[in-house]
Amino acid sequence: MQAANAIHVSEAWWIEACKKVKNAVVFLDNNTAECLHWSGGLTRLVNAGAKNVKEFSSFESGNKDDIKAVFMVSTALRDTTTIVLQDIIKASRFQYCIIITCAHPSVHAYARYGGREVDESLLMSELEQDILSWMGNMNYTIEIFYNPLVIAPYSEKLFFMPTFSKLYPLLNSDVLRISKLQQALPKGDKMKPVENLGEVEFHHLPFEMRILVRQFVVCIHSLLQGMNAREEVYTVGHTSRIIGTELDTFNPARQRRKTASNKVSLVLIDRTLDLVVASSHRAEPLMGRILSLLPRLYDHQLDSAVSMAPLCKVHPSSEWTLVPGCLAPQGKEIRASAVLNSLVMSSGKEALSLINKYVLEAASHKNLASEPEKKEARVTPENLKKNIQQFASDIDAFTENAGLLQQGLGVVETLCDPRYVHLDQLLSLEKRLLQSIGDPEETLPFTQIFQLLKTRGTHGVTLDDILTLMVYVASLGGPDVFTHKDEYALTNRLSHAIVEDKKLLSDVLLQLVGQEVDEVSALRSAQCIAEQLHAIASARDHLKNYKHLHIPGDSAQPASYQSLLQKLVYDCLTAPQAEITDLEYKSAGFKDLIKTGFSLFVNVSKPMPRDTPTMLVFVVGGVTPGEVFEIQQVVTAVNPPCEVIVASTHFAHPTDSVINALQPNPFLRHV
């Protein structure tokens, strides 16, 4: 029996959640709102009978006649979430409150009591009593449900869990901070200090990170439960190893695996093992450029904000008053879903042609075309924009095709952005740096970057661009490409550049340096960046199969790069298990069998991800559109016996890579 996919499971969760919202005012936090955005949108709640939908914020409350409220939150009921919940309830007159949380009771228990054994039902009952006291009458009604509304379905082969976008893999530079946390523990709780990432286990992690990992594990378990799946867990990377171990030993998951009938391979990979593609400005597929050039939709990890000015007669000075469009399909638009898929799975030329074809079909169906469309040899952004603008005169036609038209405008805005050419220039710089790695006749990569840092004004590159190139080279070249001599030059030159450009620093740089920019903060930030670059360069030191991503050139062909994810998926689908030593297999049952004498008589061998009908590849820390595109090409070429599904926390892109890679882990930044 084929397993239900993530889209079907997520849809079932939303159907259950929507049963609770009739005649209620609904409060959504940002993570849940983003998942709703990809799962039917606001219309879904309205059609289910919701009276009103509001932000989960201390500045919101119910109206005087609102007696029923539904709260959809992505976290455990603790700390800030509890404060906001209390503020809303006390400012309202609710008699019936329903709380739908993405945190399982076991996560609530861990968040409140750590690893101590507690009665989860008693804990939830205590929470209910607290909430009733805020409502002002202990005879009112309160219900708390666990429902993991954490999936943003993108297509049949791709989904995201943006609730966990803060879950970023650890780097070697984080080990010292973890050791400091251990030293700060009470004497009785102290453990042996960790010296490298290979020694870091779940109990070594910062407490807030442990809570998020635990919640992630429970949500993955719930997804697999919805798929009636019995998973085989494989990991590549230290943080993925920790997550995989937790899932493997999670008791409800072990119980599920005893009865589940569908086999699924879950492959977890750390983003930090390959930041080359994540920091590259490659042009294919088109979604990569969209992520680089269009702003994010407010408080969203996945979707982009699209200017709707071409369809509205608004003076350019007032365009900021327009509500932005987005890329997510509106309702059940089949064409919009196909276009969204093509933005990742197809070349830019193919995606542009497909959008234009669908726009012309929709215009013809509504009799909007003023004259027969001439067959163009090549579709251009200008042609597409002109075809889209036909819908400005017909509100019904626009409404019916809103998702498709917004996607089309997003593509036009991206391709016509003057910065598009600039990204091509950065791509040329990347290719030049790629060829210089390991070539004794070429100038060393970081020497080229330092020269570029000195002449950035005349070459039209920003500090952000240069930081992105540093991440690209450090990840591609490994430890040999960034020496201690380079470190001294970097801290000196970069700190001076930060001070020189302090009035021009982007939000990204201000996030790395801080709002107060002076020589001290600039030097401290440059030293931190150097430390992170060393960690990025050494991230694959423990690997054997995937230690080197740079393929040296020779007289016949230039140097090249192959992404770790592409190579890993290809190996998982084709190579013998014995050849992939970096793919760590997690299975309590397998380990138990090995420990017994039965292993002497039974032919025990590690399974492979391709042995199951479904292989779920989850990249912890973000996946790029380019990687999804490459995996699709691998699957097409290999034609494997299993279905390959890609998942991640969010889409990674150059700006995202700089922010996440060049500063300590989010849970260790204040250590």
Position 543 scores a pLDDT of 95
Non-local CB neighbours of 236 within 8 Å, separated by 6+ positions: 267, 268, 269, 270, 273, 543, 546, 564, 568, 582, 583, 584
At residue 506, φ and ψ (nearest 5 deg) are: -75, 175
What dihedral angle (degrees, nearest 10) is formed by the CA atoms of 245, 210, 535, 439?
Answer: 50
Cα gap 379→284, rounded to integer Å: 17
Contact 423, 460 (CB under 8 A): no
At residue 283, φ and ψ (nearest 5 deg) are: -90, -15
Position 113 scores a pLDDT of 87
* Amino acid found at 124: M
Cα gap 200→607, rounded to integer Å: 26
How many helices (H) does the chain have, and how many strands (E)?
28, 14
* 461-490 exposure pattern, b = at least 16 Cβ within 10 A, e = fewer: bbbbbbbbbbbbbbbbbbeebbeeebbebb
Cα gap 229→253, rounded to integer Å: 10
Q: Hey, how many other C-beta atoms are within 10 angstroms of the C-beta on 393? A: 11
> How many Cα atoms sit within 13 Å of 46 on the Cβ side?
6
> How many Cα atoms sit within 13 Å of 385 on the Cβ side?
15
Give CB contacts under 8 A, 24+ apart, made by 39-43.
Answer: 39/10, 39/11, 39/14, 39/149, 39/151, 39/152, 39/153, 40/14, 40/331, 41/328, 41/330, 41/331, 43/331
Entry field: residues in the chain: 671
> How many Cα atoms sit within 13 Å of 324 on the Cβ side?
17
Structure tokens at 152: 């943003």
Helices (H), 455-483: 456-459, 463-477
Cα gap 513→497, rounded to integer Å: 12
* Amino acid found at 186: P
Cα gap 403→306, rounded to integer Å: 11
Contact 112, 139 (CB under 8 A): no
Residue 544, beta-bridge partner list: none
Entry pTM: 0.94
**Is 309 strand, coil or helix?**
helix
Cα gap 291→304, rounded to integer Å: 7
Cα gap 504→71, rounded to integer Å: 42
Contact 22, 28 (CB under 8 A): no
Contact 632, 292 (CB under 8 A): no
Cα gap 129→113, rounded to integer Å: 18
At residue 598, φ and ψ (nearest 5 deg) are: -60, -25
What dihedral angle (degrees, nearest 10) is formed by the CA atoms of 243, 246, 251, 255?
Answer: 50
> Mean pLDDT by 10-residue block, N- to C-terminus, for the chain (671 residues)?
77 97 97 96 96 97 96 96 97 97 95 82 92 96 97 94 97 94 75 87 95 97 96 96 96 94 96 97 94 94 93 80 90 89 95 95 79 66 93 88 95 96 96 92 93 90 96 95 90 94 92 91 95 96 94 88 96 87 77 42 69 96 97 94 95 95 93 79
Cα gap 52→25, rounded to integer Å: 5
Non-local CB neighbours of 559 within 8 Å, separated by 6+ positions: 434, 435, 437, 438, 439, 550, 551, 552, 553
The alpha carbon of 438 is separated from its chain's Cα centroid by a whole number of angstroms, namely 33
Q: Hey, how many other C-beta atoms are within 10 angstroms of the C-beta on 611? A: 14
Non-local CB neighbours of 583 within 8 Å, separated by 6+ positions: 234, 235, 236, 267, 545, 568, 571, 572, 577, 609
Q: Give, as one character, the DSSP assignment of residue 636.
A: H
Non-local CB neighbours of 344 within 8 Å, separated by 6+ positions: 154, 155, 158, 285, 287, 625, 628, 629
Cα gap 648→410, rounded to integer Å: 23
* 203-222 exposure pattern, b = at least 16 Cβ within 10 A, e = fewer: ebbbeebbbbbbbbbbbbbb
Give the residue among 566, 582, 663, 578 at the shortest CA–CA distance from 624: 566
Position 1 scores a pLDDT of 42
Cα gap 529→661, rounded to integer Å: 9
Greatest Cα pair distance, the chain, in angstroms, is 82
Cα gap 167→217, rounded to integer Å: 12
Position 579 scores a pLDDT of 81
* Amino acid found at 69: A
Position 189 scores a pLDDT of 65
Angle of helix 286-293 relative to helix 348-365, nearest 10 degrees?
90
Structure tokens at 218: 């429970």
Cα gap 359→188, rounded to integer Å: 67
> How many Cα atoms sit within 13 Å of 553 on the Cβ side?
17
